[in-house]
Structure formats: structure tokens, C-alpha cells
Amino acid sequence: MKILSVVGARPNFVKIAPLAKTFSERGFNHVLVHTGQHYDYEMSKVFFSDLDLPEPDRHLGVGSGTHAVQTGKIMAAMEKALLEEAPDITLVVGDVNSTLAAAIASAKLGLPVAHVEAGYRSFDMRMPEEINRVVVDRISHLLFSPTENAVLNLMNEGVKRESIHFVGNIMIEALLTNREKAQKSNILEKIGVKKKRYCVATVHRPHNVESKKNMQIILDAFSQAPLPVVFPVHPRTREAIARYNLDTAGANVYMIKPLGYLDFVRLLSQAACVITDSGGIQEEALVLQVPCVTVRETTERVETIKAGANRLCALDIEAILTCLKNVLENNKEFEIPLFWDEGVSKRIADVLEREEIAIPGYSMI
Ligand code: UD1
């Protein structure tokens, strides 16, 4: 079976790593395409070395742009790649623009699409990722869900039960298989912080960073946090802080470049808590038993809230400081959801082997 899988943005690289390894062990003909949505060393290349990912077979070199421009460019380049590669199935992961563009290009060529991380919903259509999730799931043939709740979301939308496969959380497989290696990182010493005596922070959602007022609230909250805050700054966020000429002088805040995967896992695993607006970090924090404050109105990662590992927090200095105080007092162990383990890529490969014959053969290629 020939599988073409697509990566573009940082969280995609993490999710594809365990799959690429298992596909190679199973002898699948696996073609890896990098759209180029993320292109900086810190946002892309370092993940390939940290995660032992093979070099992409194709690089589309699309880069940044508005949503329509970025998605459109990826669709056009993907269509060409798909016609030339003629895979049996296209595999996409997560919810970024590369995921959406590749799924549309593939489905329109009559090539079946497999979506890994299907069924997550924040029910907030103001998030570009929510639009991506809904559209990709609607046009996918095989839907690999990370949680039982994601399966229910899909069934509520009328997806046929036989298309949905509850396989578990692929990002957690990556975390568990790399956890030991990550402990060798000396990132804490490099930054100069001590185990469990600091918070990690990441913010990059347009709602939080593409507004001078909101960005200032976040920076002020970090400056007033009860522990030092280590803040690896996403390029979008760095650009916004510079554009608004914001005051980032808080001595309490270590603003550093985005980190590679192993350094970030080490930093997160030793933190007292994490403040984020990312999706995946909410889940990684749960598994690493690090309490999380999510500066968003909604989350598609509802299991993290149910487990008591995560709190949604309003964009307000007092609210963020109160949430931080509350989570820092936590001493509970969080229960890890079913199938958030090291067997996810194998479950996916089992389904792909089983379903090979059953996938409708209506390809236009
Ligand atoms: C994307 C995903 C988001 C994911 C995040 C992880 C979408 C809609 N969003 O958001 O879900 O959580 O990646 O990082 O796909 N830039 C660089 N260098 C890079 C990449 C980006 O400088 O290597 C800058 C560019 O100025 C670009 C901006 O960051 O315009 C935003 O990049 P983009 O990929 O469009 O969205 P993200 O905010 O990274």
C-alpha cells in the first residue's frame, strides 16, 4: 500500500514521527510531503532531527500567507504531488492549514483521506483550526479518533460508525517514546531555572497575540506571576510584540527562541505549571502531570479538563494570576485517558492494513 502523508506546521511533525516509524516497520510504501507552512529552523528542521524523522520526499516550499493564500498555494502544490505520486491513500494529521489543504486536494482527486486526530471540537467556529477540523473530518474516509468523546462528536455529526476508529492519542505516543531521551536535555541549566520552580508559557493564537491590548495583558500577567516564567516565543508572537512596541521588561520572564521538541519536553516535564493557548500542550501537560492554565474561552481537549489537569482562563490579569495560584496548589495525580499510550501508531497501521481492500476505489488518477 502506498501512503502519502502530509506535514506542514510544528505539531504535525510530532504526530507523524511515530507513524513514519511504524509504517517503515510494516513495510508500507510511505511518501512524506512537507508543505513548508513552517520553515524556520526552530519551527521545523530541529523537529526532524529530534524526532528521527526521515527527510521529506517532497518539499512544497509554500511558506506564510493569509489563510486563503496559504491554503490555496498548498492545495495547488499538493494536487501536483498527488498526481505524480498516485498514492492509495492520503494521511493528514491535526488541524492546521496544511491538513485542510491536503485533505481537500486529495478528496477532489477521488483519493481517500485518512485523518489522524479526528473528532476534536471546540464548537468555536471563530478558530481557524475548528473550521479545519470540521471540513477535514467531513471529507475523510478513515477517521482516527484520539478519545471516546471525539468519537461521539463525529457520530453526532452523522459520520458512519464504521469509518471511525478509536485508536488513541498519537501526540502522546510521541511524548512517551521520547520522554527518556528528552531528560538528557540541559535546557534548565542553560536558562538558569530550577526543577518545579518555574512556569512555562506559550502563546500564539491570533485572538491573544494579534491585539495590542490582549498581548499586553498576557505579558503583564507573566511579569506578575508567582514564579519565573520561561516563555519560548512563537515567531507570530515575537512579530506582534515588536509591531506593538510592547514593554517586555519583566525580570521574572525569560523570553527565549522557540525550542526544539526534546528541549521543550524536558522544560515542560520539570515545570511547576504551564500557561498556554496551544492544543497539544494541554494534553502533554496532563500526561507529564504538570497542571495547565489555558488562556482560551473554549478547548477541544475536553479530557484534560475532565481529568482536573487543565483550567480555561479568561484574558484578564487577575483571572490569570488566580488560575495560576489555584493550579500551583494542586497535588492531585491526573488520570490518563484510555489509549493515550505507545500503541497508537500500531492501531492505525492495523486499520490501514485491514481496510486496504475496503477503501472505495474511485480514484481519478
Ligand atoms: C499554525 C497553526 C496552529 C498551530 C501552530 C503551531 C493554522 C491555521 N494554525 O499557527 O494551529 O498551533 O501553527 O505553531 O494552521 N512564521 C515564521 N516562521 C515559521 C512559521 C511561521 O516566521 O517557520 C510566522 C510567519 O510570520 C507567519 C506566522 O508565523 O505569517 C504564522 O504562521 P502560520 O503557520 O500561518 O500560523 P501559526 O500561527 O504558526
Q: How far apart are CA 297 and CA 128, in angstroms?
A: 14
Would you state the pLDDT for residue 281? Answer: 98
Contacts 24+ apart (CB under 8 A), 239-245: 240/209, 240/210, 240/215, 241/215, 244/212, 244/215, 244/216
Q: How far apart are CA 286 and CA 305, in angstroms?
A: 9
Bridge partners of residue 231, in order along the sequence? 255
Atom of ligand 1 nearest to the CA of 100: 15
How do residues 162-179 score in pLDDT, each as one tens digit? 999 999 999 999 999 999
High-pLDDT (> 70) share of the chain, %? 97
Say how many Å lie between the CA of residue 234 and the centre of ligand 1: 8
Say how many Å lie between the CA of residue 304 and the centre of ligand 1: 24
Atom of ligand 1 nearest to the CA of 99: 15
User: Which one-letter amino acid corresponds to residue 358?
Assistant: A
In this prediction, residues 298-309 reach a mean pLDDT of 97
pTM: 0.96
Q: Give the β-pairing of 273-276 and 229-232.
A: unpaired
Would you state the pLDDT for residue 331? Answer: 83
Identify the burial level of 72 via C-beta atoms within 10 angstroms of its C-beta, where 0-12 means exposed, 13-18 middle and 19 or more buried: middle
DSSP-based helix, strand, coil % in the chain, nearest 5 = 45, 15, 40
Q: Verify whether residue 204 is a known catalytic residue.
A: yes
Say how many Å lie between the CA of residue 362 and the centre of ligand 1: 34
For residue 339, pLDDT over 70 is answered with yes
What is the DSSP track for 226-277?
SS-EEEEPPHHHHHHHHHTT-----TTEEEEPPP-HHHHHHHHHT-SEEEE-
For residue 245, pLDDT over 60 is answered with yes
Residue with CA closest to ligand 1 atom 21: 38
Find the distance separating the first CA and the last CA of the chain, reported in whole Å.
Answer: 15
Bridge partners of residue 89, in order along the sequence? 3
Q: What is the mean pLDDT of the chain?
A: 96
User: Which one-letter amino acid corresponds to residue 259?
Assistant: L
For residue 362, pLDDT over 80 is answered with no
For residue 355, pLDDT over 90 is answered with no
Q: Which one of 38, 67, 71, 120 would you pick to mutate in the ligand 1 pocket, going by the greatest count of ligand atoms within 8 A of its CB?
A: 38
Rounded to a whole number of angstroms, the CA Rg of the chain reads 20
- Contacts of residue 131, defined as CB under 8 A and 6 or more positions apart, other chains included, come to 100, 125
How do residues 2-47 score in pLDDT, each as one tens digit? 999 999 999 999 999 999 999 999 999 999 999 999 999 999 999 9
Binding pocket residue ranges, ligand 1, CB within 6 Å: 9-11, 37-40, 43-44, 64, 70, 96-97, 128-129, 204, 234-236, 239, 278
Atom of ligand 1 nearest to the CA of 98: 15
Residue with CA closest to ligand 1 atom 31: 236
- 51 near 135, Cβ under 8 Å? no
- Dihedral angle sign, alpha carbons of residues 126, 128, 134, 139: positive
List of domains in the chain: 2-169+341-354 (3.40.50.2000), 180-328 (3.40.50.2000)
How do residues 180-234 score in pLDDT, each as one tens digit? 999 999 999 999 999 999 999 999 999 999 999 999 999 999 999 999 999 999 9
DSSP 43: I
Q: How far apart are CA 284 and CA 58, in angstroms?
A: 29
Phi, psi dihedrals of residue 310, rounded to the nearest 5°: -140, 145
- 146 near 300, Cβ under 8 Å? no
Q: How far apart are CA 273 and CA 144, in angstroms?
A: 30
**Options 115, 204, 207, 234, the catalytic residue:** 204
Helix or strand run (H / E) with residue 231: strand 229-232
Atom of ligand 1 nearest to the CA of 280: 12
- 240 near 209, Cβ under 8 Å? yes
Would you state the pLDDT for residue 248? Answer: 76
